C-alpha cells in the first residue's frame, strides 16, 4: 500500500521520507540510510563535507532518454538548458549522450565547448546578446540564434557581415499565453520582456529575409518554467503553427520549430504532466509540420537528479518558532527565498522511532545569513538533533547555478555519483578565492 507523501497538521507539514523517495528514482533508503544510486550519503558527507550538491548521473540520463524516446517518431534535437545546471560534468554526460544545448551567454557556450558539446547543436537564447557574444558564437559556428528583438536581428546581421558569415536564426515568438506558473518565471505573456509579439512576427521575418547575412532556419517559443499542465504548451504551439503556415505563404520556409523548455517537476506532491503525456499532446500537431523539432528542457532533466546536503549547526527553539540553523543558506539555494518554492527536506538517516509525525516538532530550516528571507523551508515536522545531515531534494536545477557569495560565503562543493562511485565535480570554493581578484585602494 502506498503511503501518502505529506501530512499537513496544525503545527506544520510532515513529509514522509520513504514515500517521497519512492517518486525519486535516484534516491532510496537502505537500512534507514539515504542513498543516491548505490552510494550512501554518509559516505559522501565523510568525503566532501557540507553544504554539498550531489547529482545522479543515471537520473540525468534517464530523463534525457525519456525525451528522446517520447519524440522518437520525429526528427528532433534536445537542447538541454544550461542555466539549470552548468557544471562541466553534467554538460559532459549530456554531450556524450548526444544532447544539444540552449545557452544564454558566452560563458555558457564556453562551458558547453569545454565539456565536449558540439557548437552546431547549440541554440543561443536571451534578450541581451552583445556584439562580442554574437561574434564569439558565430566564430564557433553555433546552430542557431533565437532572436528576441528587431535591434538584435540587425546587430546579428552587422556582426555576421563584419565576419563575412551567414548567421542562422529563429525568431523567438511571444505567443501571449499564460503558462500558469510563478510570475517570476513566466516568459510568454505580452508583459514579459521575452520574444517578439506573435502579431508582429510575420513582418519581422519578412524584414529578416531581406538582410544580407541572415539565414532564417527556424521559429522558437518558450513560455515559462515549472509548467505542470499541458494546455499552455498546446496553446503556444497552435499560435506558432499558425505563423509557420503564414510564413510558408510568403515563401519563408523553415527547417525547425523550437518549443523551448518549461516542463515542470514534482518537488513534493505536485502532479506535473509526464514527458510521455507532453509528447502525446504535441506529436499529432508536430508530425503534420514536417519540421525538425527542438526542445530546451532544463529543470525536468536535472532537478530530481540532485540534492543539497546540509548539516544542522544550531537548534534554536523559541516560544513562537523553532529554528534549525543549517550550514546551507539562501546563497546556496535561493529558490525558497525568491519564489517561495516549497522543497522537501528529508533526513539522511531515518530516526529510530520510525517515520511518522510522532516525535517530530515543527522547524523552520534557515541559514546563517543576515536576512529574514534566508530560509530553506518553513514549518516542517522533523525530528532533529545538532549534527544531523539533511537532504533538500529537487535541488539539481537552479540550485548551484543561482548560488552566490553573499555574506562572503564560499560556494558549495558538487559531487556526481554513478552506480557505487562518487566523484568531486567541483571543489568547495576557498574563502581566499572570494577576494583574490580584489585590489586595495592605492592611496
Ligand atoms: C529560453 C529558455 N529555454 C529553456 C529554458 C529552460 O526551462 P526549464 O528549466 O523550465 O525547462 C528557459 C528557462 O526558463 C529559457 O529561458
Ligand atoms: N530559476 C527559476 C527558473 C527560471 C527559468 C529561467 N528562464 C527556478 O528556479 O524556478
Ligand 2 near 106 CB (within 6 A): no
Residue 428 DSSP symbol: P
Atom of ligand 2 nearest to the CA of 224: 7
Ligand 1 near 17 CB (within 6 A): no
CATH of the domain at 371: 2.40.37.10
Count of helix runs (H) and strand runs (E) in the chain: 13, 23
pLDDT at 353: 57
Asked if residue 238 belongs to a domain, the reply is: yes
Q: Give the end of a domain, one of 272, 295, 318.
A: 295
pTM above 0.90, yes or no: yes
Establish whether 12 is an annotated binding residue.
no
Q: Which domain holds residue 388?
A: 6-56+303-435
Q: Do 237 and 307 sit in the same domain of this protein?
A: no
Ligand 1 near 78 CB (within 6 A): no
Å from CA of 260 to ligand 1 middle = 6
Q: Do 161 and 250 sit in the same domain of this protein?
A: yes
Ligand 2 near 338 CB (within 6 A): no
Ligand nearest to the CA of 227: 1
Q: Do 268 and 132 sit in the same domain of this protein?
A: yes
CATH of the domain at 172: 3.20.20.10
Establish whether 37 is an annotated binding residue.
no
Atom of ligand 1 nearest to the CA of 226: 10
Ligand 2 near 310 CB (within 6 A): no
Ligand 2 near 66 CB (within 6 A): no
| Residue of the CA atom closest to atom 13 of ligand 1 | 225
Asked if residue 230 belongs to a domain, the reply is: yes
Establish whether 262 is an annotated binding residue.
yes
Asked if residue 81 belongs to a domain, the reply is: no
Ligand nearest to the CA of 338: 2
Q: Do 166 and 277 sit in the same domain of this protein?
A: yes
Establish whether 49 is an annotated binding residue.
no
Decide if 144 is catalytic: no
Q: Give the end of a domain, one of 255, 276, 295.
A: 295
Q: Are the C-beta atoms of residues 345 and 366 closer than 8 Å to each other?
A: no
Q: Do 307 and 288 sit in the same domain of this protein?
A: no
Quickly count: other Cβ atoms within 10 Å of residue 33's Cβ.
Answer: 15
Q: Do 325 and 353 sit in the same domain of this protein?
A: yes
Which run of H or E residues covers position 151?
helix 150-163
Q: Which of 357, 376, 358, 396 lies closest to 312, judged by CA?
A: 376
Q: Give the end of a domain, one of 295, 315, 332.
A: 295
Asked if residue 65 belongs to a domain, the reply is: no
Quickly count: other Cβ atoms within 10 Å of residue 324's Cβ.
Answer: 26
Quickly count: other Cβ atoms within 10 Å of residue 99's Cβ.
Answer: 25
Q: Do 216 and 277 sit in the same domain of this protein?
A: yes
Query: What phi and psi values does residue 319 have, to the nearest 5 degrees?
Result: -60, -35
Q: Per residue of the chain (443 residues), what is the pLDDT tens digit?
A: 468 999 999 999 999 999 999 999 999 999 999 999 999 999 999 999 999 999 999 999 999 999 999 999 999 999 999 999 999 999 999 999 999 999 999 999 999 999 999 999 999 999 999 999 999 999 999 999 999 999 999 999 999 999 999 999 999 999 888 877 777 777 767 777 888 999 999 999 999 999 999 999 999 999 999 999 999 999 999 999 999 999 999 999 999 999 999 999 999 999 999 999 999 999 999 999 999 999 999 999 999 999 999 999 999 999 999 999 999 999 999 999 999 999 999 999 998 655 678 889 999 999 999 999 999 999 999 999 999 999 999 999 999 999 999 999 999 999 999 999 999 999 999 999 999 999 999 98
CA–CA gap between residue 425 and residue 44 (Å, rounded): 13
Establish whether 410 is an annotated binding residue.
no
Q: Do 335 and 429 sit in the same domain of this protein?
A: yes
Establish whether 371 is an annotated binding residue.
yes
Ligand nearest to the CA of 295: 1
Q: Which of 153, 80, 156 lies closest to 121, judged by CA?
A: 80
Quickly count: other Cβ atoms within 10 Å of residue 32's Cβ.
Answer: 15
Establish whether 107 is an annotated binding residue.
no
Cell of 267: 518537488
Ligand 1 pocket test target in 298, 395, 398 with most atoms within 8 Å of CB: 298
Ligand nearest to the CA of 195: 1
Atom of ligand 2 nearest to the CA of 341: 10
Ligand 1 near 297 CB (within 6 A): yes
Å from CA of 343 to ligand 2 middle = 14
Q: Do 349 and 200 sit in the same domain of this protein?
A: no
Cell of 279: 509528447
pLDDT at 355: 67
CA–CA gap between residue 265 and residue 287 (Å, rounded): 26
Ligand 2 near 225 CB (within 6 A): yes
Asked if residue 115 belongs to a domain, the reply is: no
Q: Which of 394, 415, 273, 386 lies closest to 336, judged by CA?
A: 394
Asked if residue 80 belongs to a domain, the reply is: no
pLDDT at 193: 80
What ipTM is given for this predicted complex? 0.98
Q: Which of 292, 303, 278 lies closest to 399, judged by CA?
A: 303
Asked if residue 67 belongs to a domain, the reply is: no
Query: What phi and psi values does residue 424 have, to the nearest 5 degrees?
Result: -70, 125
CA–CA gap between residue 312 and residue 372 (Å, rounded): 18
CA–CA gap between residue 8 and residue 10 (Å, rounded): 7
Q: Do 152 and 287 sit in the same domain of this protein?
A: yes
Domain total for the chain? Answer: 2
Asked if residue 110 belongs to a domain, the reply is: no
pLDDT at 2: 66
Q: Do 289 and 148 sit in the same domain of this protein?
A: yes
| Residue of the CA atom closest to atom 14 of ligand 1 | 225
Ligand 2 pocket test target in 102, 193, 397, 403 with most atoms within 8 Å of CB: 397
Ligand 2 near 398 CB (within 6 A): yes
| Residue of the CA atom closest to atom 9 of ligand 2 | 398
Atom of ligand 1 nearest to the CA of 297: 11
Atom of ligand 2 nearest to the CA of 222: 7
Q: Do 36 and 164 sit in the same domain of this protein?
A: no
Query: What phi and psi values does residue 44 have, to the nearest 5 degrees?
Result: -60, -45
Task: Single out the catalytic residue among 79, 144, 221, 370.
Answer: 370
3-state secondary structure (DSSP) of residue 107: helix
Ligand 2 near 335 CB (within 6 A): yes
Amino acid at each position: 500500500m502506498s503511503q501518502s507523501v505529506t501530512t499537513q497538521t496544525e503545527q506544520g507539514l510532515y513529509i514522509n521520507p520513504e514515500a517521497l523517495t519512492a517518486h525519486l528514482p535516484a534516491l532510496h533508503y537502505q537500512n534507514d540510510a539515504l542513498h543516491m544510486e548505490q552510494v550512501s550519503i554518509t559516505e559522501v558527507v565523510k568525503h566532501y563535507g557540507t553544504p554539498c550538491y550531489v547529482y545522479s548521473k543515471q537520473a540525468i540520463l534517464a530523463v534525457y532518454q525519456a525525451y528522446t524516446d517520447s519524440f522518437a517518431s520525429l526528427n528532433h534535437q534536445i537542447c538541454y538548458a544550461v542555466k539549470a545546471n552548468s557544471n562541466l560534468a553534467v554538460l559532459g554526460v549530456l554531450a556524450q549522450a548526444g544532447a544539444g544545448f540552449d545557452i544564454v551567454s558566452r560563458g555558457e557556450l564556453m562551458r558547453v565547448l569545454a565539456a565536449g558539446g558540439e557548437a552546431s547543436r547549440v541554440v543561443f537564447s536571451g534578450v541581451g546578446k552583445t556584439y562580442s557574444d554574437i561574434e564569439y558564437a558565430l566564430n564557433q559556428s553555433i546552430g542557431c540564434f533565437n532572436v528576441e528583438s528587431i535591434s538584435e536581428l540587425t546587430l546579428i546581421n552587422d556582426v555576421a557581415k563584419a565576419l563575412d558569415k551567414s548567421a542562422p536564426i529563429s525568431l523567438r515568438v511571444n505567443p501571449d499565453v499564460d503558462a500558469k506558473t510563478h510570475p517570476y518565471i513566466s516568459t510568454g505573456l505580452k508583459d514579459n520582456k521575452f520574444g517578439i509579439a506573435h502579431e508582429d512576427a510575420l513582418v519581422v521575418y519578412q524584414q529578416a529575409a531581406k538582410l544580407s547575412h541572415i539565414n532564417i532556419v527556424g521559429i522558437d517559443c518558450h513560455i515559462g518554467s515549472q509548467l505542470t499542465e499541458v494546455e499552455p504548451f498546446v496553446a503556444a504551439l497552435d499560435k506558432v503553427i499558425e505563423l509557420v503556415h503564414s510564413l510558408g505563404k510568403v515563401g519563408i520556409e523553415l527547417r525547425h520549430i523550437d518549443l523551448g523548455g518549461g516542463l515542470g517537476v514534482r518537488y513534493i506532491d505536485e502532479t506535473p504532466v509526464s514527458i510521455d503525456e507532453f509528447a502525446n499532446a504535441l506529436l499529432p500537431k508536430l508530425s503534420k509540420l514536417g519540421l525538425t523539432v527542438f526542445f530546451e528542457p532544463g529543470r525536468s532533466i536535472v532537478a530530481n537528479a540532485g540534492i543539497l546536503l546540509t548539516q544542522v549547526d544550531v537548534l534554536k527553539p523559541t516560544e513562537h518558532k523553532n529554528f534549525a540553523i543549517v550550514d546551507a543558506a539562501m546563497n546556496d539555494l535561493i529558490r525558497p527565498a525568491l519564489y517561495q518554492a516549497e522543497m522537501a527536506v528529508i533526513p539522511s538517516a531515518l530516526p529510530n522511532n520510525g517515520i511518522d509525525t510522532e516525535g517530530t516538532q515543527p522547524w523552520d530550516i534557515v541559514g546563517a545569513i543576515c536576512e529574514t528571507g534566508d530560509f530553506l523551508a518553513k514549518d516542517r515536522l522533523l525530528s532533529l538533533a545538532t549534527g544531523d545531515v539533511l537532504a533538500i531534494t529537487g535541488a539539481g536545477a537552479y540550485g548551484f547555478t543561482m548560488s552566490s557569495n553573499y555574506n562572503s560565503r564560499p560556494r558549495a562543493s558538487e559531487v556526481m555519483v554513478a552506480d557505487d562511485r562518487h566523484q568531486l565535480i567541483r571543489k568547495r570554493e576557498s574563502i581566499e578565492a572570494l577576494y583574490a581578484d580584489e585590489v586595495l585602494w592605492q592611496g
